[in-house]
Amino acid sequence: MATRSTIMDSNSFRAEHAKGLDQETRKLTQRREELLGGSYRLFYRKPVHLVRGEGQYLWDAAGKKYLDMYNNVASIGHAHPAVVAAVLEQMQALNTHTRYLHERILDYTDAFGTTLPGYLDPGDYKAMYMCTGSEANDLALRIAKTSSGGTGLIATTEAYHGNSELSSSVSPALGSGQPIGENVWLLPAPDSYRTGVADIGPWFAQQLREAIADMESQGVKLAGFIADSIFSSDGVLPGSYLSEAVEVVHQAGGVFIADEVQPGFARTGENFWGFAAHGVAPDIITTGKPMGNGIPVSGLFARAEVLASFSDSIPYFNTFGGNPVSMAAAQAVLDVIRSEGLQEHARTVGAKTLEAFRQVGANHESVGDVRGAGLFIGFELVKDRATREPHRELALEMLEELRGRGVLTSVAGPHGNVLKLRPPLPFSEQDIPWAADALDDSLSALE
């Protein structure tokens, strides 16, 4: 299990920081402490009070402009007018649940099928809709258990798949306070940089074989393997290496769940879905945050025979899942990605951004590796390039320095030493100097 939490405590505000805050910020943080549960965390020692967003930019209450390098919720850009218009139009007409007939949910499911890679047949998949990625992954895990007849689950050691009881049981990134499920086996991520293994696919497949063998030796049958195909929370690990691992899962009678909440919806540029880089056919695909660009909507798309084992015997109803307003937002997102050419944009601008960040890294000994796919980049900080010793303290200080220079991001990885640079898709070539200079200047100030 993880011994620390990248998600919850990466650069959070603490009470001892309150003395350095302006009066309004201190007032708001105090109100939060009085009114909200203690599990909530604020980013930054000096929290950011945001009041407006547009595209890849955000503004705080004092009028300061920020470059958002973290947010895949507003994937096609903050306050995108097409989503606003679609939601408003549908809200003015009708919003209800899926026990009545409505075209929106069906039209979206048809449209979703056209986004799948050519080697998959959309007719093989059926859809279910929820409100969050946590709910989608929760249902996916339930389906995997029913379909396989097993209870054993496999995830990686810094994975994040949600905050429901079941999805959090395969989410060690939540930290040592979050119990991992009794029948959950955790594997080291397929990280070529940290392992030193160039051909990481066979290495990772062997990790799965060993985990399944250990599982079976304890009388536990494999239900499934869940993975985000760019291993976002494990430190951003792009590549094409999962095919053998998925074969291992299928040979053992398990289900492969592709959690596409972070790598999906054109984020990685070369492919619309992250799993397509690996050439694999997921049994279940789950989606969430970027699907509605800020409107709560998520989806699960499962092979019909896998889903049937669950849905033919267990009713599932989600009051708000698939409602017409949420589906209007989701359809608008798909339409915008295509009409604005955002997948190709992510590919080309992402490549230029990666090169610019690598140039920054070449000038600083504390940068161990810079890697990415499309507009999803991991910037790894180390104490020593030769030993690759992680430098978590520097990463946390970098967040504060970057915030001061108007760039917002966070960290990832089992050591909390990887800057997770993942801007809204409209991030442009003109934004690269701002981000690259902020990285360069922040490193210079701290090294």
Residue-wise pLDDT tens digits, 63-75: 999 999 999 999 9
Q: Which domain holds residue 228?
A: 81-339
Mean pLDDT over the full length of the chain: 94
Would you say residue 5 has pLDDT above 80?
no
Q: How far separated are the first and last CA of the chain, in Å rounded?
A: 32
pLDDT, tens only, 254-305: 999 999 999 999 999 999 999 999 999 999 999 999 999 999 999 999 999 9
Residue 310 belongs to domain with CATH number: 3.40.640.10
Same-domain status, 290 and 348: no
Structural domain includes residue 232: yes
Structural domain includes residue 15: no
Q: Which pLDDT band, with edges at 50, 70 and 90, does 175 fall under?
A: confident
Structural domain includes residue 428: yes
Among residues 230, 232, 229, 213, the alpha carbon closest in space to that of 221 is found at 213
Domain end residue (candidates: 299, 317, 339) = 339
Structural domain includes residue 251: yes
If DSSP states are collapsed to H, E and C, what string results for 116-132?
Answer: CCCCCCHHHEEEEEECC
**Domain count within the chain:** 2
Distance (Å, rounded) from C-alpha 66 to C-alpha 154?
38
Would you say residue 9 has pLDDT above 90?
no
Same-domain status, 354 and 307: no
Same-domain status, 387 and 426: yes
What's the Cα-to-Cα distance from 143 to each of 80, 166, 308, rounded to whole Å? Answer: 34, 12, 9
Would you say residue 12 has pLDDT above 70?
no
Q: What percent of the chain has pLDDT over 90?
A: 89
> Residue 8's pLDDT is what?
42
